[in-house]
Amino acid sequence: MHHRFLRHYNRTLVTNRAAKPCNVFINHRGIDTKRTVATLLYDHFYRLNLHPFLDSKNMKPGDKLFDNINGAIRKCKVGVAVFSPRYCESYFCLHELALMMESRKKVIPIFCDVKPSQLRVVDNGKCAMEDIRRFNWALEEAKYTVGLTFDSLKGNWSDVVTSASDNVIKTLIEMEGEKKMQRPKSTPMLHV
């Protein structure tokens, strides 16, 4: 079933020149996950032609950081948030998560070497109170979203990448089905 969807989805992207450039936004803490799960996810999604966004792969020197990341989040269809031990230390991670939640994107959490209960925003005095409020709200939303858990000492990277990919594909299939159901149906003409 996934293969049929991917063939249809890829044909639609090829024929639709106005297709959005990013379907899957990968939110992660680079220091913890860029060389492991984040890049593996990106490469896997890319091979499936799902148009992923990963900052280190989609941005080049001179790009405006917030403009590109915010634009990618607003245009994406689904987000994958890779939570890790130092995730909450990053303003950028928390900003991206908050923007995905505020934009009402479907977010698939992956708790990598961290439990949801361990995720907390630290108020070190560097963030505005409004940002702290946004970040706390977004973290709470993510903590209470069914996600994947992964222990890098015991787990298999391939398994978590495959599981995340399956969840993203299922989400895209559901979204495509919902979009089809929302399209106005033509009303039959009455012949008198």
Residues with a known catalytic role = 96
Sign of the dihedral through C-alpha 52, 54, 55, 57? negative
Beta strands 24-28 and 52-53 are parallel
The H or E element spanning position 8 is helix 2-15
CA torsion, ordered 10, 15, 17, 20, to nearest 10 deg: -30
CA distance 68 to 74: 10
φ/ψ of 13, rounded to 5, equals: -65, -40
Rounded to 5 degrees, what are φ and ψ at 6?
-60, -40
- Side by side, which strands form the sheet with 52-53? 52-53, 24-28, 78-83, 106-112, 148-150
Q: How far is CA 115 from CA 33, 45, 58, 124, 169, in A?
A: 16, 25, 29, 22, 25
